[in-house]
Amino acid sequence: MKELIKVRDMSLKYDISARALKYYEDMGLITSTRNDDYAYRMYDGEAAKRLEQILILRKLNISIKDIQRIFNTSGSEVVLEVLEKKVGDIDEEVALLHELKEIVIEFIRQINQADFSKDSDVKLLYDKAKEIENQIINVDYNGNAANVNRLLEVTEKLSMSPEIVKKHSYFYLIFNLGSKKAVIEACELYCKAFGAEKTSEDTIPELPEWIGININIFGLGIFMQSNDKPAGGNSCCCIHFATEEELRKAYNTLIQEGTDYSLHTDWGWTSLSALLRDKFDNGWLFCI
């Protein structure tokens, strides 16, 4: 049986996010698999090699669309075509940078020649700066409009940077839920209440009673583990819902076997809010 790599291990090995892996998979660039012992996405050696190729091409600022073309075509014709085009793009950008440098040098020369005691010279420089700021092509002053116009064209082209997949910082909450059974039940409850996505599940063979599950609730990561250490007293997690329907669904789901729950319509900053502590002693504040 081929050795399979977990999402977390792939992320750590290649320093990319799980979201980027999922994106590459959704775009058809890599494929994942699952086995009977582990219900979540895993990758084989072939997928790892394919990911290495993707990352190299992305470092060269090759677009996802062009990477799809390269992988979907046998032979080297497409990759050579894409790389030759990239060389042409780089040459054009270098030429534009040189031209931009000449334009800036010319503006410096004009500034050096200007007499700041003369209102006319100061006004001329101000007008030129204003033309650049507002990106007005048809200038109406007594000066060299060509330089200003060309500067706008050059800077506009240089601003068209290639597509880049960025890696962002993020944060998540930790819920320590005591038992393995509680972690699994909490995952099921929160997925039902919020439409949450379970992103990973991990166990440790040496610790058979330990389990760790990551879920994503509206972009917020929550890590739940079977650990009786306190997690800030399982303090309140605040969620701002887009609709009242979403809030009430989550509220009605979590108050089952929960404690200290209440709805409010008299808070001035929101038309509907809720406070509750669920069956796992996790606190929640909802609002719309």
The 3-class secondary structure across the chain, one letter per residue, is: CCCCEEHHHHHHHHCCCHHHHHHHHHCCCCCCEEECCEEEEEECHHHHHHHHHHHHHHHCCCCHHHHHHHHCCCCCHHHHHHHHHHHHHHHHHHHHHHHHHHHHHHHHHHHHHCCCCCHHHHHHHHHHHHHHHHCCCCCCCCCCHHHHHHHHHHHHHHCCCCCCCCCCCCCEEEEECCCHHHHHHHHHHHHHHHCCEEEEEEEECCEEEEEEEEEEECCEEEEEECCCCCCCCCCCEEEECCCHHHHHHHHHHHCCCCEEEEEECCCCCCCCEEEEECCCCCEEEEEC
Give the pLDDT confidence of 149-188 residue by residue, as tens digits: 555 565 555 555 444 445 455 566 888 888 899 999 999 9
Q: What is the mean pLDDT of residues 69-76?
A: 87
Q: Is the pLDDT reported for residue 148 higher than 60?
A: no
Q: In whole numbers, what is the pLDDT of the chain averaged over residues?
A: 78
Query: pLDDT band at residue 228, thresholds of 50, 70 and 90?
Result: low
Give the pLDDT confidence of 13-45 residue by residue, as tens digits: 888 888 888 889 888 999 988 776 666 788 999
Confidence at residue 222, expressed as pLDDT on a 0 to 100 scale: 87
Strand partners, 43: 5
Confidence at residue 30, expressed as pLDDT on a 0 to 100 scale: 92
Query: pLDDT band at residue 136, thresholds of 50, 70 and 90?
Result: very low
Confidence at residue 165, expressed as pLDDT on a 0 to 100 scale: 47
Give the pLDDT confidence of 92-107 residue by residue, as tens digits: 888 877 877 777 777 6
Confidence at residue 237, expressed as pLDDT on a 0 to 100 scale: 84
Q: Higher model confidence: residue 287 or residue 148?
A: 287
Q: Higher model confidence: residue 169 or residue 253?
A: 253
Return the percentage of the chain with pLDDT > 70, whole number: 73
Query: What is the rounded distance in angstroms from the CA atom of residue 178 to the CA atom of residue 209?
Result: 10
